[in-house]
């Protein structure tokens, strides 16, 4: 009997943790086909515009998927990453150094919004447009298709300082990544699965050059990186101090194809960022990396599911927020 209060406290603590996590990710308030009667052409407009944009510039696919991720991890999936800085708010999320100049695809979202506003004024949120665009990017460059629950509303606030407080840094360890994603209600396997988005896109040298030139007090180069890969990277990324910050492909073998080659790269010690390679070197995630490397179809299915889960983080619905007329500014 003496232990009963302690056990009850444990149960309450666990219940509170579950409630906190489930409140971060909630698809219950979103609905597939949300605009089927109010703006039936919405998703088709997004798909055709995104498809053309990626045909013109394949790098846009990685940009739109990354933008959706950066939106959802800061204030939830509310389109806050799309808001421009103003005189009253000089540094919005998109102008924080983590996002500017590396985030790409704003003009695609604005193009879509202009077309949708002409068809269905003040009906479709910018947050939903971005979620649709990320899905259509995955379809175009990876053949990965999935239904996107919609009904998100647009947020009214965008604060640049909140970006580094919420987004995972490229130098994080495996345990730190697990904690970062858990705060958003995402599991370890979902974190590893979503990291596969790094099979496309590029990174600035400054995000990983320490692994090449000044890794530790005892070693200039990160020993977990394949030496021949490191040598190749050094030809593209000058040693600091440098006045330039070039970009290199996150996964060079299929840099414009969203696939599971990223995980093969990790097994071969060719992960570009610390936060990439740590997924293979950490015991808690190593087997997940191996599983994704050996079964591309299973990874693609999990990626679709994880994107839906990520797209449901802390969403605004109902009468919260607004439907912006322009994605860069509040009404």
Q: Which two tokens stand for residue 79?
A: 């389109």
Does 68 qualify as catalytic in the annotation? no
Of 6, 7, 68, 70, the active-site residue reads 70
b/e map 207-244, b = 16+ CB within 10 Å: bbbbbbeebeeeeebbeebeeebbeebeeebbeeeeee
Decide: 25 and 185 in contact? Cβ < 8 Å: yes
3-state secondary structure the chain: CCCHHHHHHHHHHHHHHHHHHHHHECCCCCECCCCCCCCCCHHHHHHHHHHHHHHHCCHHHHHHHHHHHHHHHCCCCCCHHHCCCCCCCCCCHHHCCCCCCCCCCHHHHHHHHHHHHHHCCCCCCHHHHHHHHHHHHHHHHHCCCCCCCECCCECCCCCCCHHHHHCCCCCCCHHHHHHHHHHCCCCHHHHHHHHHHHHCCEEEHHHCCHHHHCCCCCCCCCCCCCHHHHHHHHHHCCCCCCCCCCEEECCHHHCCCCCCHHHHHHHCCCCCCHHHHHHHHCHHHHHHHHHHHHCHHHHHHHHHHHHHHHCCECCCCCCCCECCCECCECC
The answer to whether the bond into 84 is cis (omega within 30° of 0) is: no
Alpha carbon 77 to chain centroid, angstroms: 11
Write out the catalytic residue numbers: 70
């Amino acid at each position: 009997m003496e232990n009963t209060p302690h056990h009850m406290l444990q149960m309450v603590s666990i219940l509170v943790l579950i409630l906190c996590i489930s409140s971060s990710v909630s698809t219950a308030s979103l609905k597939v086909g949300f605009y089927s009667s109010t703006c039936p052409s919405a998703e088709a407009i997004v798909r055709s515009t995104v498809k053309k944009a990626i045909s013109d510039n394949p790098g846009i696919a990685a940009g739109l998927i990354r933008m959706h991720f950066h939106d959802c991890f800061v204030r939830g999936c509310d389109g806050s990453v799309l808001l421009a800085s103003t005189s009253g708010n000089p540094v919005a999320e998109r102008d924080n150094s983590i996002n500017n100049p590396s985030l790409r695809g704003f003009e695609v979202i604005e193009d879509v919004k202009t077309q949708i506003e002409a068809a269905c004024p003040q009906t479709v949120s910018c947050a939903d447009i971005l979620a649709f665009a990320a899905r259509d990017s995955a379809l175009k460059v990876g053949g990965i298709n999935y239904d996107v629950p919609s009904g998100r509303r647009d947020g009214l606030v965008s604060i640049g300082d909140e970006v580094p407080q919420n987004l995972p840094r490229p130098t994080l360890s495996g345990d730190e990544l697990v904690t970062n994603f858990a705060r958003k209600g995402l599991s370890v396997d979902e974190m590893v699965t979503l990291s596969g988005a790094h099979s496309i896109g590029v990174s600035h040298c400054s995000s990983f050059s320490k692994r090449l030139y000044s890794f530790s007090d005892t070693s200039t180069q990160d020993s977990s990186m394949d030496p021949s890969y490191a040598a190749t990277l050094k030809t593209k990324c000058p040693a600091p101090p440098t006045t330039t910050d070039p970009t290199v492909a996150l996964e060079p073998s299929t840099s414009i194809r969203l696939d599971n080659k990223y995980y093969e790269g990790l097994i071969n010690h060719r992960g570009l960022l610390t936060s990439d390679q740590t997924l293979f070197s950490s015991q808690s995630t190593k087997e997940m990396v191996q599983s994704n490397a050996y079964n591309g179809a299973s990874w693609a299915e999990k990626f679709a599911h994880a994107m839906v889960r990520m797209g449901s983080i802390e969403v605004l619905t109902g009468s919260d927020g607004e439907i912006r007329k322009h994605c860069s500014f509040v009404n």
